Structure 1
Amino acid sequence: MLKSHTEEKFVQAILYFAHNTQALGKIKLFKLMFLLDFEHFRQTGRSVTGQEYRAWRMGPVPAGLVQQWDQPEDGLRDAIRIVPEKVISHWRETVIPLQPFDATHFSKRELRLLESIAQQYRETLSDAMIDVTHAENGAWSKTWQEGAGKDQVIEYRLAVPDDAGDREAVLEAANLYAGIAAAQGR
């Protein structure tokens, strides 16, 4: 079965992080995907992978990846293997790439962002990334609201600060992208 362009980018982003970071477990992957999508939206008004993120106590989670984690669909199942790995006092579900990364699905900006995020967090463990994804006045924090927003969708628009000089242009682009996607039935 052919995957959509968005589904392919979702799988390829995971492959990129699996090939270019260390100690890539479930939580770290969730945080990297969130950073990728929300930073790209902040810059352009569009996410990279099209994932919906939800506010959970431990941070933002990509809903589509959570749904596939234990029983991956064909594209993800063919691309990665999830291997339980004992790490001191807990088990990490380590992501092992089974295929090479295919850059042809990404724009130059998306590739630069993938590279920048992977480089910044290459050796970082998931616990150390909590401050970044849980930043005060960040998208997760604004949604979570000390538990009141539990399991609520984190709106991408929250990635664009109220005082951003290009806020209106980014949000206008987001509306345009949303209109195109709706017209195409996505």
Structure 2
Amino acid sequence: MGMYRSINNEKIGNILNYLSSNIEYLSMTKALKLLYIIDETSIKETGSPITWLDYKVWEMGPVAVDIYNEIKRNEIICYQGNELTVGEYIDLNIIDNEGRQEIYLKPKTNFNDKIFNQYELNLLEITVFKFGNWNAQDLIKYLHEENSLWHKTVKQHNLEEFFAKGQRKTNYSIEFTELIQDDPILSLANKAAQEALEFQQRLADYGEK
């Protein structure tokens, strides 16, 4: 499961809620790509992602597996006896498109802007403004571009051959810290954010006992 999912679940659910409130006909594929773009942009600009989800390198680009499995397969993660689900923030609309089932996201509750800082709220707005009209294929192409983290990971592990054999999923994770390894300030910010989350996690776990 993505790091700190139990702490960040409300944020993840609200991001999906925000995207589906502001983009008409938001498919699961498009939502997953936008989620990745939000985290990658945040890392580049602040040193840390917003969701801390684990993105795997799949043929169609980086995918937050936790969220994919829940939306696509209804597989919900349990942590310390609690279900970690985005189901209270979004509804799913399954549409039969020429024999293929497509899943679309719809908002279920009102977006809670209180849990985000100003930077994060601006980033959500900019992401919708910039990519809201792109279709899933355009986003996949964009994230496959040369020198993207996805592209680098595919090259590094010879995954083209793997994908050419018809395999679509791998267990390799996107290493966001590669984007900031040459920037000491952002690297420090990343470390500080991670330490703060670890502390929060310990407090939360301690509270469960």
TM norm structure 1: 0.86
Which residue of the partner structure matches residue 119 of structure 2? 109
Which residue of the partner structure matches residue 159 of structure 2? 147
Pair 134,76 (structure 1): closer, same or farther in 2 beyond 3 Å: same
* Aligned pairs for 1:94-133 within 5 A: 94-133=104-143
Q: Give the match's secondary structure for 2:57.
A: strand
Deviations 1:49-93 (A, max 9, x none): 121111001100012202322225564222212122234674321
Structure 2 gap segments, 5+ residues each? 77-82, 163-169, 203-209
The answer (yes or no) to whether the contact 1:55–1:61 under 8 Å persists in 2 is yes
Question: Which residue identity is paired with 1:159?
Answer: L
Q: 2:148 aligns with which of 135, 138, 153?
A: 138
Distance 2:37 2:154 in 1: 17
Higher Rg? 2
TM norm structure 2: 0.77
Pair 104,125 (structure 1): closer, same or farther in 2 beyond 3 Å: same
- Confirm or deny that 1:181 pairs with 2:197: yes
Distance 1:119 1:78 in 2: 25
* Aligned pairs for 1:33-182 within 5 A: 33-69=35-71, 70-71=73-74, 72=76, 73=83, 75-87=85-97, 90-145=100-155, 146-147=158-159, 150-160=170-180, 167-182=183-198
How many residues in Structure 1 have an aligned counterpart in Structure 2? Answer: 180
| C-alpha displacement of 1:159 | 3.3
Q: Give the match's secondary structure for 1:170.
A: helix
- Over aligned residue pairs, what C-alpha RMSD do you find? 2.3
Distance 2:116 2:198 in 1: 21
Query: Identity, % of aligned pairs?
Result: 23
